[in-house]
A and B are shown apart, each in its own frame.
Chain A
Amino acid sequence: GIPAPVVYFVDYVTNCIYLEDIVDSVTVRDHIASVQQCGNDSSSLLPLAEKLGELLARMHDEDLIHGDLTTCNILLRPPMEKLDLVLIDFGLSFVSGLPEDKGVDLYVLEKAFLSTHPDTETVFQTLLKTYAATSKKSGPVVKKLDEVRLRGRK
């Protein structure tokens, strides 16, 4: 139940995976950049943050760790207002129930967010709030996230 491109064909000879092409999609990175460029206030990004928090909570509740959460690895399917998100690039993903792994997954996204998109602290905060509200196992995860933040660069 996590939106991702459909796998069409796995070629074991060339080790290629053929996936669905999400036509006319935009990365969340580009979307945020354009919203900020238009002079729009980051508050217009809050609904997106909520959707993302909800999606990641569902993913982590299934014990799936993405492994490379950045705004370039999340697509927005048109029409943009629908906030139809698609996760891509599962090259570093793995299965784990450990709050530590989920916390790190979120930490990677937080770092990516703040380094790529200035003044988005409230956006990520909203994401985390919705994550905590949606996920059934969020308590320990958020705790681990705080610990990882304190440890600084890993």
Chain B
Amino acid sequence: THQLELFPDRSVTLLLFNHVKNAAALRKKAMEGCIDGALINPAMIVDPFQILVAANKAVHLHKIGKMKTRTLYTEIIFNLSPNNNISDALKKFGISDSDTAVLIVLVEDREKTVNLEDVASQVEGQQVSLDELPQLTDIAKIKKMYKLTPQEEKIGTLLDGIICRMSTKDVL
């Protein structure tokens, strides 16, 4: 769980699950709004910070009523994308029916706390430590998605390149 520096009354919790058998059902529930969290494909995530940056922007836009998507959770998924196509973002960064690993992101504030066991019990899979995230990451897919160049990698980390694209995509 991380507290957002710019929004100290909000905290972001990440839950990672592997060997998931009911991804299709989970995705359906998420689309119906029955799950109180963002269901993300862990293959596209290199570091929890990537999620925090997406969550920070989502909370900010939610507060000023300027979100591009309908819910805070779809906004988080959308913010992970380097482009402005919402359905593409949900497809690439959200979970698909065939996924066996799921990263669930929950945002809580003082008024609304989320029951972690409640959320975890809906997943037919094994909850694992976030330390296992690197094993689930698909670096090649990520480099292709974010169009990261070898030039850039000489200067900074993969995460740096990703964060830059996420935070400036609406400026360019």
Chain B residues in 8 Å Cβ range of A9:
6, 53, 56-57, 60, 167
Chain A residues in 8 Å Cβ range of B171:
10
Q: Are A10 and B53 in contact (CB under 8 A)?
A: no
Q: List 26 A-B contacts (CB under 8 A).
A: A1-B149, A1-B151, A1-B152, A1-B154, A1-B155, A2-B155, A3-B155, A3-B156, A6-B156, A6-B160, A6-B163, A7-B164, A8-B53, A8-B56, A8-B163, A8-B167, A9-B53, A9-B56, A9-B57, A9-B60, A9-B167, A10-B167, A10-B171, A11-B60, A13-B64, A20-B160
Query: Is B135 at the interface (CB under 8 A from chain A)?
Result: no
Alpha-carbon separation in the docked complex, A13 to B155 (Å): 31
Q: Are A6 and B168 in contact (CB under 8 A)?
A: no
16 additional A-B pairs beyond A6-B163, A9-B56, A10-B170, beta carbons within 8 Å, are A1-B149, A1-B151, A3-B155, A6-B160, A7-B164, A7-B167, A7-B168, A8-B56, A9-B53, A9-B57, A9-B60, A10-B167, A10-B168, A10-B171, A11-B60, A13-B64
Q: Which residue of A lies closest to B157 (CB)?
A: A6
CB distance from B54 to the nearest CB of A (A): 10
Chain B residues in 8 Å Cβ range of A8:
53, 56, 163, 167
Alpha-carbon separation in the docked complex, A37 to B21 (Å): 66
The tally of CB-CB contacts under 8 A between chains A and B is 35
User: Which residues of chain A from 1 to 57 have a CB within 8 Å of any chain B CB?
Assistant: 1-3, 6-11, 13, 18, 20
Chain B residues in 8 Å Cβ range of A11:
60
CB distance from A66 to the nearest CB of B (A): 16
Chain B residues in 8 Å Cβ range of A3:
155-156
CB distance from B38 to the nearest CB of A (A): 18
Which 7 A-B pairs give the minimum distances between C-beta atoms? A1-B151, A6-B160, A7-B167, A3-B155, A6-B163, A9-B167, A1-B155
Chain A residues in 8 Å Cβ range of B155:
1-3
Alpha-carbon separation in the docked complex, A7 to B149 (Å): 18
Chain B residues in 8 Å Cβ range of A13:
60, 64
Chain A residues in 8 Å Cβ range of B156:
3, 6
Chain B residues in 8 Å Cβ range of A18:
6
Alpha-carbon separation in the docked complex, A6 to B158 (Å): 11
CB distance from B24 to the nearest CB of A (A): 34
CB distance from A3 to the nearest CB of B (A): 5
CB distance from B132 to the nearest CB of A (A): 25
CB distance from B77 to the nearest CB of A (A): 17
CB distance from B49 to the nearest CB of A (A): 9
Chain A residues in 8 Å Cβ range of B149:
1
Contact code string B130-172 (vs A, CB < 8 Å = 1, else 0) = 0000000000000000000101101110001001100110110
User: Which residues of chain A from 56 to 111 have a CB within 8 Å of any chain B CB?
Assistant: none
Alpha-carbon separation in the docked complex, A2 to B56 (Å): 26
Chain A residues in 8 Å Cβ range of B151:
1
